[in-house]
Structure 1
Amino acid sequence: MLAGWMLASCAHAPAAEEAAPPPHASFTLESAALHETRRINVYLPPAQAPDRRYPVVYMLDGGVAEDFPHVANTIDAAIRADRMAPVILVGIENTQRRRDLTGPTSVAEDREIAPVVGGSAQFRAFIADELIPRIEAAYPASGRRGLIGESLAGLFVLETLSASPELFDTWIALDPSLWWNSGKLAADAPTWLAAHPHARGRLYVGWAEPETIGPNVGVLERALASAPASLAWRVVARPDLDHGTIYRALAPEVLPAMYPPE
Structure 2
Amino acid sequence: MKITNFFILVLCLVGSHNLLAETKLEIMAKSKFTIGDTIEFHSLVLDENRILNIYLPSSYDAAIDKHYPVIYLLDGSASEDFIHLAGLVQFGSFSWINQLPESIVVGIENVDRKRDFTYPSNNLLDQKDFPTSGGSEQFIQFIGTEIQPLIAKNYRANASKTIIGQSLGGLLATEILFKKPNLFDNYIIISPSLWWDDESLLKFTALTSSSPKSIYIGVGKEGEIMERVAKALFEKVKANKPSHDAVFFNYFEQLSHGDTLHLAVYDAFDKIFRSKKE
- TM-score (normalizing by structure 1): 0.85
> Partners of 2:88 and 2:255 in 1: how far apart?
18
> What is the aligned partner in structure 1 of residue 172 from structure 2?
156
Could you tell me whether the CA contact under 8 Å between 1:25 and 1:41 is conserved in 2? yes
Alignment of structure 1 residues 83-94 onto 2, 5 Å: 83=98, 84-94=100-110
> Partners of 1:159 and 1:205 in 2: how far apart?
14
- Provide the identity percentage: 33
1:219 partner letter: A
Q: Structure 1 stretches of 5 or more lacking a match?
A: 1-19
The counterpart of 2:58, out of the listed 38, 46, 52, is 46
Deviation, 1:197, is 5.6
Once the two structures are superposed, residues 183-242 of structure 1 have per-residue CA deviations (whole angstroms, 9 ceiling, x without a partner) of 111122xx21xx426353100000122413122223223322232112211122222211
Alignment of structure 1 residues 62-211 onto 2, 5 Å: 62-80=76-94, 81-83=96-98, 84-188=100-204, 191-192=205-206, 195-196=207-208, 198=210, 200-208=212-220, 209-211=222-224
The counterpart of 1:219, out of the listed 211, 221, 232, is 232
The counterpart of 1:35, out of the listed 47, 53, 65, is 47
> What is the aligned partner in structure 1 of residue 72 from structure 2?
58
Secondary structure at the counterpart of residue 236 of structure 1: strand
1:116 partner letter: T
Deviation, 1:170, is 0.3
Deviation, 1:22, is 5.8
Could you tell me whether the CA contact under 8 Å between 2:218 and 2:230 is conserved in 1? no
Once the two structures are superposed, residues 151-182 of structure 1 have per-residue CA deviations (whole angstroms, 9 ceiling, x without a partner) of 00011111000110111000000000010111
- TM-score (normalizing by structure 2): 0.81
Once the two structures are superposed, residues 23-56 of structure 1 have per-residue CA deviations (whole angstroms, 9 ceiling, x without a partner) of 1100002001111000100011112322111110
Deviation, 1:149, is 1.0
The structure whose Rg is larger is: 2
RMSD, aligned α-carbons? 1.9
1:140 partner letter: R
Could you tell me whether the CA contact under 8 Å between 1:85 and 1:256 is conserved in 2? no
2:230 partner letter: V
> Partners of 1:111 and 1:21 in 2: how far apart?
43
Q: Comparing both structures, which one devotes a greater share of its residues to helix?
A: 2
